[in-house]
A and B are shown apart, each in its own frame.
Chain A
Amino acid sequence: MTMKQGIFTVTENWPLTEKVSRLVLRGDVSAIERPGQFVQLRLDGLYLRRPFSVCDRAEDSFTVVFETVGKGTAKLRDIQPGAKLDVLTGLGNGFDLNACGNAPLLIGGGTGVSPLYWLAKELLKQGKRPAALLGFNTAKDVFYEDEFRTLGIETIVTTADGSCGVKGFVTDAMNREYTGFYTCGPEAMMKAVCACTDKPGQLSFDKRMGCGFGACMGCTVKTKNGLKRICKDGPVLSSEEVLWET
């Protein structure tokens, strides 16, 4: 896999919920090869780039869904269509579409739902039958439920307060048939998911990064297969190799 640097134009930046927005960037997307890969956006006034996983990719654009949590995402939220952004694309390994059987469960928590959308589309193209399990805190945080349903896949929403879908956490809705799982979300959620299944899984991790392409060693974690840089050897790790820190 090869990264590319390019200038992209913002074509859409729209709030999906109070804190979550969808950003669409147009430019050369040829380096974005697989769901689960990410991009690094450069934002005016911030020294380090900010990593975001790719939520969807089209012919000449890609989509990022992000939550406003700090300085960088606040700047990103306020960017207007027409603005140009310097983007590194084609970063990270991405999900292995063949690792989790023919009927995998896609388990997302919060903005971790984002990379599972393009993944669902690619799995469908391969003739697999994914189902989506999307966890949120409360009804007003829910996003992309309709987008998943529109793909024609079974979509279950859980909310911690029960204001939408199943009351509880994603793990409260896992008692069903599936051949494996893909997950992205808070580490505590992914750890809980792994604890309630022996099926093969692929997990996408989010760590504070420096460069995003394997040079600075800022995001290295220990795995059963040795040290791995989340940005370059990840962000997707298999459930068998993950060593939980806490």
Chain B
Amino acid sequence: MGDLNVNLCGIELDNPIIPASGTFGYGYEFAELYDINCLGTFSFKGTTLEPRAGNPLPRIAEGNAGMLNAVGLQNPGVDAVISEELPKLAKAFHKPVIANVSGFSVAEYAEVCGRLDAEPQVGWLEVNISCPNVHGGGMSFGTDPKAAAEVTRAVKRVTTKPVIVKLSPNVTDIVSIAKACEDAGADAVSLINTVMSMRIDLKTRRPVLANTTGGLSGPAIFPLALRMVWQVYETVKIPILGLGGVSSAEDVIEMMLAGATAVQVGAANLVDPNACRDIIEALPKAMERYGIEKLSDITGGAHEWEKT
């Protein structure tokens, strides 16, 4: 059997499969179905300083080969995450976990990251800078290289754990944002977050989502995500966590060939709660089929032909 291990910012993972934030809760719902310790790790639900009720319903719509969500960062706030959710998570999952953090100001990102940094099970901090409605001239942190760098620096000051910055695809040049994060000290970048989208109900002639727009995820965005991982890999040196529509072992291999060190799986968990387990089980055979002995060897492998 091939070697599935990868190293993510100094921490060894049994395999590169990581459920993406917002699609896996705090893990325990999925632990009803399978032993989630088979995962490389997972990124838990985005955490903010204060509790957030999220957006009005409907928050979910469907697209061809994908789904839209406008949940709006519903979460119980960092204090409740630490006191209530993490102890439950620890019962179901025994490996280091990725803490996903959102904020509405640089200070809030730093505050929440500082508190989660103190939690022993948190192995990495994933900073979500693709949330709209945050300060910075009306632009989200994830669409302005300067703001992205500012958040990255602020978070790096409060933690010694690896910082992963999660990037938005809703930009003209994702490479410049990734580069700004790397220059500001980010240990890794994850991309892509969801793609801003909408649907209209033909009967009511109104947007389906109460929030009008939402983020598209699922297989529909896989080629777009792959292209962005490819481009970012050509410029930055830090590891990339590739995500966006990954649904199979073959998708994982393709994402790694584009430049990903590890791969997150999002929407697939919501339609097929066993998706990550099934992908992990399917990986050895898929590796054999494509002549891969050590999975970590193939990161960026598709760029090789350019150099020859």
B contact set with A: CB distance below 8 Å: 22-25, 29-30, 32-33, 45, 53-54, 57-67, 69, 71, 74, 218-219, 267, 269-274
Q: Is B69 a contact of A216 with CB atoms below 8 Å?
A: yes
Is A26 engaged at the interface, CB distance under 8 Å to the other chain?
no
Task: List the A residue with the shortest CB-CB distance to B28.
Answer: A214
Q: How many A-B residue pairs have CB under 8 A?
A: 89
Say whether B29 contacts A232, CB under 8 Å.
Answer: yes
Min C-beta distance of B247 to chain A, whole Å:
10
Asked if A216 contacts B23 (CB within 8 A), the reply is: yes
> What are the residues of chain A within 8 A of B274 when measuring CB–CB?
5
Report the 6 A-B pairs with minimum CB-CB distance, sorted nearest first: A218-B60, A211-B270, A208-B58, A210-B60, A217-B74, A214-B29
Interface majority SS (helix, strand, loop, mixed), chain A: loop
Indicate whether A46 reaches chain B with its CB closer than 8 angstroms.
Answer: yes
A49 and B60 alpha carbons, distance in the complex (Å): 12
Number of interface residues of A (CB under 8 A): 27
Identify 6 residue pairs between A and B in the complex whose beta-carbon atoms are under 8 Å apart, listed by A's number: A49-B271, A208-B60, A210-B67, A218-B60, A218-B71, A220-B59
Is A19 interfacial (CB-CB < 8 Å)?
Answer: no
Q: How far, in angstroms, from A243 to B69 measured CA to CA in the complex?
A: 23
Given contacts A3-B33, A5-B33, A217-B74, contact A210 B69 (CB under 8 A): yes
What is the distance, in angstroms, from B73's C-beta to the closest C-beta of chain A? 9
B71 cross-chain contacts in A, Cβ below 8 A = 216-218, 220
Q: Which A residues, 168 to 191, have Cβ-Cβ distances below 8 Å to chain B?
A: none
In the assembled complex, the Cα of A232 lies from the Cα of B273 at a distance in Å of 14
Bitwise, A204-230 to B at CB < 8 A (1) or not (0) is: 000111110111111111100001000
Residues from chain A with a CB closer than 8 A to the CB of B69 are 210, 216, 218
Cβ B269 vs Cβ A48 within 8 A? no
Given contacts A3-B273, A5-B274, contact A48 B23 (CB under 8 A): no
Which residues in A have their C-beta under 8 angstroms from that of B33?
A: 3-5
Closest residue of chain A to B220, judged by CB? A47
The answer on a CB contact under 8 Å between B25 and A47 is: no
